[in-house]
Amino acid sequence: MYPELAAILLGLVFLVWSADKFVIGAAATARHLGMSPLLVGLTIVSIGTSAPEMFVSAMASLDGAGNLAIGNAIGSNIANIALVLGITALVAPIPLQRGLLKKELPLLMLISLLAGVVLMDLTLDLIDALILIAALIFALYLMFQQSSDSGEPVMDSDEAEEIENTPTAKAVFWLVAGLLILMASSKALVWGATGIASAMGVSDLIIGLTIVAIGTSLPELAASVTSALKGHHDIAIGNVIGSNIFNLLAVMPIPGILAVTAVDSMALYRDYAVMMGLTVALILLFIINYRTGILGRVSGTLLTTSYAAYMFILFMANQ
């Protein structure tokens, strides 16, 4: 299994690196073509956070591993809440943005419920995909309205400066090069993951929920922990909510667009249920900690412990 392991490791490294270059290239190209910074931030940059998951899902679906793609989307959401926020809160208490409780968190809950309705018949087809994409367009419209009214920036200053200062030729180069490397690295990752799944007798769904989901969530974890150490991690929860919304509305439809996918029943009754439980738990933690205004280490311990318990459940299920 050494070639497969090497493909997974190299695939993840180049997937994360090329996704960043692709987003910068695409965003800078859009700016040079006259798109406003607000629209660039809300579309290209926001959806770009799910670029690794999107390309992995596309390659998995084309290779007939649709459940790996579904596991990637659900598993990334589980990892974002329980692992990314949990570890970040353990490193340093996370300031709560109270406005999230009024708009973004209810929106995430509604979208999560919609994803459950789509998966309920254990089939993901073109109609299901179009429903999720329509919800994505509506969510982007709501975010655009909110950002226009508030006047708040939708991306950090360093990222915005890099996009503005990237020349057109360089932007187009990274747009094309980033896209090609994204495709190649996601193909390598899927090949390695499905190879290991076959060799170990593990389902594609389990591989998508664990190796692939954790791997594609590592950039968010690294960014959140680094920001926490620097004391600039107040946007961590907002980033996780945004990433989870795009995972369900931009990543999950991909298997349905490319082929009719039979959904593993455990993806709905076990993994989707865990994702919904964690989403509800995040809202409850928000309400409980509303007065103090921080998500502290107790909450971080609860989240990381829940993720460890989920990994144990997956391990025992595979046994």
The three state secondary structure string of 177-189 is HHHHHHHHHHHHH
Q: For residues 312 and 200, give the distance between their C-alpha atoms in angstroms, rounded to a whole number.
A: 17
Does the domain at residues 52-152+193-318 carry the CATH identifier 1.20.1420.30?
yes
Q: What is the pLDDT of residue 301?
A: 96
Cβ-based burial of 77 (10 A; exposed 0-12, middle 13-18, buried ≥19)? buried
- The torsion angles phi and psi of 164, rounded to 5 degrees, stand at -65, -35
249-286 burial: b if 16+ Cβ within 10 Å, else e = bbbbbbbbbbeebebbebbbebbbebbbebbebbbebb
Q: Are strands 123-124 and 261-262 parallel, antiparallel or unpaired?
A: antiparallel
Q: For residues 87 and 19, give the distance between their C-alpha atoms in angstroms, rounded to a whole number.
A: 23
219 neighbors 239 (Cβ within 8 angstroms): no
Q: What is the pLDDT of residue 276?
A: 97
The tokens for 39 are: 């629209």
The tokens for 174 are: 């990274």
Q: For residues 70 and 213, give the distance between their C-alpha atoms in angstroms, rounded to a whole number.
A: 10
Each residue's pLDDT expressed in tens, for the chain with a length of 319 residues? 788 999 999 999 998 899 888 888 888 898 888 887 777 876 787 787 788 889 999 999 988 888 999 999 999 999 999 999 999 999 888 888 878 888 889 999 999 999 999 999 999 999 999 999 999 999 988 888 877 665 555 666 677 788 888 899 999 999 999 999 999 999 999 999 888 888 888 888 999 999 889 888 887 788 788 777 776 665 678 778 888 999 999 999 999 999 899 999 999 999 999 999 999 999 999 999 988 889 899 999 999 999 999 999 998 987 7
Q: What is the pLDDT of residue 183?
A: 92
> Residues 27, 219, 69, CA angle at the centre, nearest 5°?
85
CA torsion angle for 274, 240, 87, 100 (degrees, to 10)? Answer: -100
Q: Residue 155 in 3-state DSSP?
A: coil
Which run of H or of E encompasses 295? strand 294-295
Q: Which residues have C-beta within 8 Å of that of residue 66, sequence separation ≥ 6?
A: 60, 124, 204, 255, 259, 261, 262, 263
User: Scanning the structure block, which residue is given the tokens 């593993």?
Assistant: 264
Q: For residues 136 and 109, give the distance between their C-alpha atoms in angstroms, rounded to a whole number.
A: 14
Q: Are strands 94-95 and 294-295 parallel, antiparallel or unpaired?
A: antiparallel
Q: Residue 74 in 3-state DSSP?
A: helix
How far is residue 141 from each of residues 84, 134, 242, measured CA to CA in Å?
Answer: 27, 11, 14
How far is residue 110 from each of residues 56, 145, 255, 270, 286, measured CA to CA in Å?
Answer: 25, 18, 21, 19, 17
119 neighbors 267 (Cβ within 8 angstroms): yes
Q: Residue 124 in 3-state DSSP?
A: strand
Q: For residues 53 and 216, give the distance between their C-alpha atoms in angstroms, rounded to a whole number.
A: 6
- Largest pairwise CA distance in the chain: 55
What residue ranges do the domains of the chain occupy? 52-152+193-318
- For residue 316, the tally of other CB atoms under 10 A from its CB is 8
